[in-house]
Amino acid sequence: MKSWLLLSLLLLATMLQQYCVDGQAQVPCFYVFGGTLSDHGNNNNLRTRSKSNYMPYGIDFSRGSTGRFCNGKTQVDMIAEFLRLNTSIPPFENTTGSDILKGVNYASGSSGIRDETGTHLGNNINFRRQIANHRYTILRILAQIGYNRTRQHLRQCLYYVHIGNNDYIYNYYLPQFYPTKRIFSTEQYARDLINRYSRRIRDLLILGARKFVFVSPGRIGCTPYALSMNRTNGSCVEEMNAATSIFNDKLRSLVDRLNNNTFDGSTFMFVNNSARNLGVVATGGFTVTNASCCPTGTDLLCDPNQTPCQNRRQYVFWDKFVFTENFNSFLALLAYNGSNRDFVYPFNISTLVQS
Ligand SMILES: *[C@@H]1O[C@H](CO)[C@@H](O)[C@H](O)[C@H]1NC(C)=O
Ligand SMILES: *[C@@H]1O[C@H](CO)[C@@H](O)[C@H](O)[C@H]1NC(C)=O
Ligand SMILES: *[C@@H]1O[C@H](CO)[C@@H](O)[C@H](O)[C@H]1NC(C)=O
Ligand SMILES: *[C@@H]1O[C@H](CO)[C@@H](O)[C@H](O)[C@H]1NC(C)=O
Ligand SMILES: *[C@@H]1O[C@H](CO)[C@@H](O)[C@H](O)[C@H]1NC(C)=O
Ligand SMILES: *[C@@H]1O[C@H](CO)[C@@H](O)[C@H](O)[C@H]1NC(C)=O
Ligand SMILES: *[C@@H]1O[C@H](CO)[C@@H](O)[C@H](O)[C@H]1NC(C)=O
Ligand SMILES: *[C@@H]1O[C@H](CO)[C@@H](O)[C@H](O)[C@H]1NC(C)=O
Ligand SMILES: *[C@@H]1O[C@H](CO)[C@@H](O)[C@H](O)[C@H]1NC(C)=O
Ligand SMILES: *[C@@H]1O[C@H](CO)[C@@H](O)[C@H](O)[C@H]1NC(C)=O
């Protein structure tokens, strides 16, 4: 009698838990790979000048300067909210216990697809090492819930990859530090990056990942960084935009190729961060598109402890390269819920996670 009751109660509890998970979060877990725009603090204890765990970074964030390269939330934070994950995705460097089941953020400021990218500033965690860190996370998950449940769990997660910007600004376009521009044409360089990228995606497929978002580099030639480097009198450096758009086209083709192969139920989508035009910017109420909100030195990062602009919601750029929280929110919503095929292809994140 008693044990029957106990068993029924346990079953009921399990069902309720199941129901809550299904009814609330759209995916059980969210793993993030990327560069500066997605870092949530992995660089804080690295020997590098690419850090943001100081004011005014995080001035609008509830927990202050965490190592996010933004005044507030990143696009990763926003997407985690849209997915109703109910937790901020912790940086790999700071994960404990069962946190890792809900997700880990491996992204590292200044890092890229190529191993050497950004290393003129010091250490970072490049894409290859981010995957190695994920392998380590999986070993920890295996120890917690065993092989079958781990396999089942991992294939339901969302894998978000936003990397490549730094391979241009902190590699190809810094010929004084890196030889790539002398070795490769822009076409060859994009091909090299995509080859490396697709090997990393293969690694993730082998590690059980099945739902992917690939976010393309933005129009880096229109960042305050590019505008300040070259004397174009305020117009975008189209040479840079042309170079990344070759990469973007190839990334989108990679999505087609991978979707056509339908490897064990895997699904891929592409977010075109170059699809911004002034019309889009205007609808968001952004009036300042060519300048950083925080005072910056010769570097592209905010100077420590300086007062940033007051009207932050009207700025696209926070420092000379990364976006403000408001612009992140604008892009994240388009990626999650947009219907413009120029921006989300072949469907949006909300469709991807329901597949
Ligand atoms: C790591 O966790 C500690 C304790 O929860 C927190 O105070 C700290 O801000 C976290 N660091 C990062 C980089 O998120
Ligand atoms: C969501 O977060 C709230 C507040 O932190 C917490 O009380 C609640 O248990 C969380 N729910 C789930 C399903 O994790
Ligand atoms: C794991 O799954 C396999 C195949 O479905 C099954 O044969 C095996 O018994 C399962 N192992 C455990 C521990 O559940
Ligand atoms: C931008 O500046 C860099 C370094 O000064 C130079 O190598 C490059 O040719 C310039 N590009 C354009 C489009 O002016
Ligand atoms: C930029 O503006 C200056 C002064 O107005 C002018 O002398 C120069 O020719 C312009 N350069 C370009 C690339 O348009
Ligand atoms: C940004 O654009 C505004 C208006 O077009 C212009 O007045 C300003 O000089 C530009 N600022 C920079 C830093 O290029
Ligand atoms: C993928 O399949 C679609 C439809 O079958 C086809 O139009 C497209 O060319 C294929 N793309 C690649 C890269 O194979
Ligand atoms: C991205 O958007 C731009 C501008 O809307 C468009 O010209 C370009 O073809 C798109 N790129 C890809 C790979 O979809
Ligand atoms: C996405 O769009 C649907 C339908 O337009 C809307 O109901 C929903 O609230 C939107 N989601 C978000 C996160 O804005
Ligand atoms: C994007 O998301 C919205 C809301 O979930 C959905 O209604 C719409 O069908 C999606 N867009 C497309 C065309 O995939």
Return per-residue pLDDT of the chain as tens, 355 residues.
444 444 444 444 443 343 344 457 899 999 999 999 999 999 999 999 999 999 999 999 999 999 999 999 999 999 999 999 988 899 998 898 778 999 999 999 999 999 999 999 999 999 999 999 999 999 999 999 999 999 999 999 999 999 999 999 999 999 999 999 999 999 999 999 999 999 999 999 999 999 999 999 989 999 999 999 877 888 999 999 999 999 999 999 999 999 998 788 999 999 998 876 544 555 678 889 899 999 998 789 999 999 999 999 999 999 999 999 999 998 999 999 988 888 899 999 999 999 8
Q: How far apart are CA 89 and CA 106, in angstroms?
A: 10
- Report whether residue 291 contacts ligand 6, using a CB cutoff of 6 Å: yes
* Tokens coding 125: 């965690």
Q: What are phi and psi of 122, to 5 degrees?
A: 130, -155
Q: How far apart are CA 16 and CA 272, in angstroms?
A: 39
Q: How much distance in Å is there from the Cα of 145 to the middle of ligand 3?
A: 13
> Which residue matches tokens 């990469």?
247
Return the residue whose CA atom lies nearest to atom 8 of ligand 7: 256
* Tokens coding 60: 């609008």
Return the residue whose CA atom lies nearest to atom 5 of ligand 9: 337
Q: What pTM value is reported for the model?
A: 0.88
Spatial contact of 58 and 8, defined as CB atoms under 8 Å apart: no
CATH superfamily placement of domain 3-353: SGNH hydrolase (3.40.50.1110)
Q: Which amino acid, one-letter code, is at 7?
A: L
Q: How much distance in Å is there from the Cα of 206 to the middle of ligand 7?
A: 23
Looking at the chain, how many residues does it have? 355
**Which uninterrupted H or E stretch holds 138?**
helix 127-145
- Report whether residue 218 contacts ligand 1, using a CB cutoff of 6 Å: no
Residues 6+ apart with CB under 8 A from 309: 288, 293, 294, 315
Q: How much distance in Å is there from the Cα of 248 to the middle of ligand 4?
A: 21
Partners of 105 in the β-ladder = 32, 91
